[in-house]
Chain A
Amino acid sequence: MKSIFLCFCLAILTVGMTFGQDKKVDQKEADRLIGVWAPSNGRALVKVQNIAGKYYGRIVKLKEPIDPETGKPKLDKNNPDESLRSTPLLGFRMLKDFTYAGDDEWTEGTIYDPQNGSLYSCTIKMKKDGTLDIRGYIGVKALGRTDVWKRIK
């Protein structure tokens, strides 16, 4: 009787430990998005970090940081909210609110295009070679556009 009880306790302990390990592995997998990434156009570097359990990417370097029209650092001059158009592009969070969905994919986020002030739904897929497929879309994912980002750091 004692041995049955002992086996039962061990089984519960093993299951509990297995679940705990899975959670750790998931977090480690999810955090692979953290780092510095270069979009294919080479105009910027984007640093991804985790805030409150979600992933955010901000512009940490601009190839051309100065606006040729003003001679000053580039601003988010196309922001639909006029009161925020003095926001500098350097430091701007263009990737927002991503959560890890498993299978090397981060979803439920948005990507902002400062060129036209548009916000798109976005998914991120990490490929086997370590690059990211960043797919932005409005409404239907199939009708979106994909850009490939490479890890810098």
Chain B
Amino acid sequence: MRFSIFFRMGLLLSIVGLLASCGQETASTYPVNNQSFVMEGPLFQGPNTAQASFAPAMTAEGELTKATLASAVLEAPEGQNFDAFSDIVLQLVTGSSDMIQVGVLNPVPKGQTSLTLQVSQEADLTELLSSEECVWVIDANIPVDMMDTTLTFSGNFSFDVTHTK
């Protein structure tokens, strides 16, 4: 009789423990650094586009259940700045999911060699980051024609991600 009670309690605790471990969430930050963007000339007044891609490779275990962009920082090459741009819009897309706007900076402050974009508080990127390849799309308005100019810059990004075991 006593064995039976202990056995039942043990079984119950095991099930509770199993359920608890099943729903265990792990929050972490996933950085994507040194993304290289090229805006090839001739560049005409108005919106121009640059792209870069990356293959998400997160080390955390479990299924990706939540992902948002935490930060987006653009860096100009040494000795240059972002004065060519009047504003910048950042988007993310994959071949199998819809394009989502994830950041913006308007206006672009003058004389800056590093820009921190305002990132979306709502854009859910779980589906995109579950894809094999993601593409950053940067649209930037240029106030004047720049016929013989090609602009290059890099981007450092980080995502807040949650994995569930």
Contacts and interface: CB of A to CB of B under 8 A. Distances in A.
Contacts of B137: 51
Interface string A111-153: 0000000000000000000000000000000000000000000
Interface stretch (A1-9, A10-18, A24-32, A52-60): A52-60
Given A51-B135, A56-B99, A93-B91, A84 B47 contact: no
A87 B140 CA distance: 11
Which of A60, A61, A91 has the most chain B CB atoms inside 10 A of its CB?
A91
A83 B103 CA distance: 8
A88 B101 contact: no
Interface residues of A, number: 25
A52 B98 contact: no
Contacts of B28: none
B81 interface: no
B122 A81 contact: yes
Contacts of A53: 95
B64 to A, nearest CB: 20
Contacts, number: 72
Interface of B: 46-47, 49, 51, 86-87, 89, 91, 93-95, 98-99, 101, 103-104, 106, 118-123, 135, 137, 139-141
27 contacts: A51-B137, A52-B94, A52-B135, A56-B99, A58-B47, A60-B47, A81-B101, A81-B121, A83-B121, A84-B101, A84-B104, A84-B118, A84-B120, A86-B104, A86-B106, A86-B118, A87-B87, A87-B104, A88-B89, A90-B141, A91-B46, A91-B47, A91-B139, A93-B91, A96-B99, A97-B98, A110-B98
